[in-house]
Amino acid sequence: MGDTMNLDIIREKIINYIKSFEQDNDNIKLKYYHTLQVEDLMKELAIKLSLSEEDIILARIIALLHDIGRFEQIKTYGSMLDKNTVDHADFGVEILFKNGLIKEFDIPNNYYNIIEKTIRLHNKLNIAEELDQKEELFVNMIRDTDKIDIYRVRAHEIKNIFYDEPTGKVLREFYDEKTINLMDKKTKSDAIIIVMAFIYDIKFLESFQILKEKKYYKEFLKSVEVDEELIDTFNRLKEKAIAYIDEKVYGDLI
């Protein structure tokens, strides 16, 4: 792809940028650690996919930059709710490419296009635009690894409650194995189901293997506080999800 990247230099510059934000802010700390975890997951996935050393470096740089918009979002708006502030992926692209932050990180400009697309598309419900083979690979990689670590975050950093009746549309789409639009959320139980349904958008067998090895999904499900009257509803959802993951990992072996 032309010029090569010096991972150590680029990584140090990105980390220093992130550390320039108020580290006493819990959301900043959460997103900083999430960034590092996604970097590790991207490296692991890239190795499992037998990518070249150059592409492993690119995967790690994409991971370090994928949520770069979050830090300014938290600083400016005091919130990580995109629907109430800005789309953090689009905001990250604006900061990097319109405002020129990308130039501060010593990343060769022949990588800019693929970095821009992966960051912009990493959080979208659906991918509507045409991508070449390499773009599609890295877009799917960052989308998978971001979701895998979101399960860790949800399990350990966020209170998950299933206290109210889920809406019919959200339940139907879950059982139809569809990713669910956040705009369809009417209850806090809906929010749990929407996160559970992330698995339907995971692309790589290797990503499912990592998800199962890390136990993040089961930890997330275990963390959910369920109203006694909704235990059967939640258990059916849980059984469906675990069966789906096992089918992806083990295939004909189960």
Together in a domain, 98 and 187:
no
Q: Helices marked H in the chain — which ranges?
A: 7-19, 26-48, 53-65, 68-77, 88-93, 112-121, 133-157, 168-175, 188-196, 205-214, 216-223, 231-250
- Domain final residue, candidates 127, 151, 175: 151
Together in a domain, 125 and 58:
yes
User: How does DSSP classify residue 167?
Assistant: P
The model's pLDDT over 2-49, given as tens digits with 9 standing for 90+, comes to 477 899 999 999 999 999 999 899 999 999 999 999 999 999 999 999
Give the pairing of strands 225-226 and 161-162.
parallel
Which residues have C-beta within 8 Å of that of residue 123, sequence separation ≥ 6? 82, 87, 88, 89, 146
CA distances from 19 to 29, 31, 59, 70 (A): 9, 11, 21, 13
Full residue range of the structural domain in which residue 87 is found: 1-151
Q: What is the identity of the amino acid at 221? A: L
pTM of the model: 0.95
Together in a domain, 95 and 169:
no
The model's pLDDT over 58-70, given as tens digits with 9 standing for 90+, comes to 999 999 999 999 9
Mean pLDDT of 117-136: 95
- Domain final residue, candidates 96, 127, 151: 151
